[in-house]
Amino acid sequence: MASASGHRITVEPGTTHVRVVRDGLVLAESRRPLVLRETGCPVRYYLPPEDVRTDLLSPSGTRTHCPFKGDASYWSLPGAADLVWAYPDPKEEVAAIKDHFCFYDTGTVAD
């Protein structure tokens, strides 16, 4: 758990079945996501690299910095820039998400 000035992050192992689909193509499927909850943000599922079709993703030049999680790297699909991100060297408080992938702008289904 990270907490500063009322900002809070928790990372917990999840058992939710997460399936990520874009334009009918399954990009990831996992029953062992990490569930990240962060103040002011939607719940995010961070998926182990073994459960992600990394062969479909191309590294992007985009990098962002989060003062609570660290520096993120991004990957894209043709026609979908910066669709997924990961923290290769996250802050100690969220070390569990290291190298796990998180998606947005997809048909992510969690059940």
12 contacts 38 by C-beta, under 8 angstroms:
no
- Per run of 10 residues, the mean pLDDT along the chain (length 111 residues) is 74 93 92 94 94 96 96 94 96 96 73 61
The pLDDT of residue 1 is 53
How many Cβ atoms sit within 10 Å of the Cβ of residue 30?
22
The pLDDT of residue 4 is 55
55 φ, ψ to 5°? Answer: -65, -20
Residues in the chain: 111
Domain chopping of the chain, boundaries = 2-110
> Does domain 2-110 bear CATH number 2.40.160.50?
no
29 contacts 107 by C-beta, under 8 angstroms:
no
Name the strand (E) or helix (H) holding 18.
strand 18-22
The pLDDT of residue 68 is 93
The pLDDT of residue 111 is 61
